[in-house]
Amino acid sequence: MVDKIGKPISQRQLRVGEMIKQSLGMIFLKNEAKVPNLETNTITVTEVRMSQDLKIAKAYVLPLGGVDADEKIEKLKENSFLIRKTLSQKIIMKFLPKILFRKDDSFEYAEKIENLIKQSNK
């Protein structure tokens, strides 16, 4: 795999990203972060991409059914410090990365491609 800059993604980045993805998933599932006015148990973490220096984690998330996705992701961004604090109790790292939440558009993109293929087959 290669990141946007063209550098290969290291095994360490993949391992740390997967560890954070699983931990965030469990935190959201059990609603442990206590994000105000947000039920996190409906949020799915689809991927976590780590920066080269492991100081930034981009977490791609999607609410169940995609309902109010932008609003929920905005609340996650505003309360990322709460989520990071809860994450610090789950995993031990020298430097816990800053978590940036992004909407995962891959499902919409895949559906769009599938529809284009169906249209071309007609």
CA distance 46 to 117: 25
- Closest to 22 (Cα-Cα) out of 45, 49, 52: 45
pLDDT tens profile 63-86: 887 778 889 999 999 999 999 999
Mean pLDDT for the stretch of residues 48-74: 89
Of 13-27, 60-74, 106-120, the poorest mean pLDDT is in 106-120
Domains of the chain: 11-121 (3.30.300.20)
Q: What is the pLDDT of residue 24?
A: 94
13-16-19 Cα angle (round to 5): 145
Helical H segments across the chain, by residue range: 11-29, 69-78, 80-90, 106-121
Mean pLDDT for the stretch of residues 104-115: 81
In this model, does residue 56 exceed pLDDT 80?
yes
Entry pTM: 0.82
Confidence of residue 17 (pLDDT cuts 50, 70, 90): very high
Q: What is the pLDDT of residue 3?
A: 61
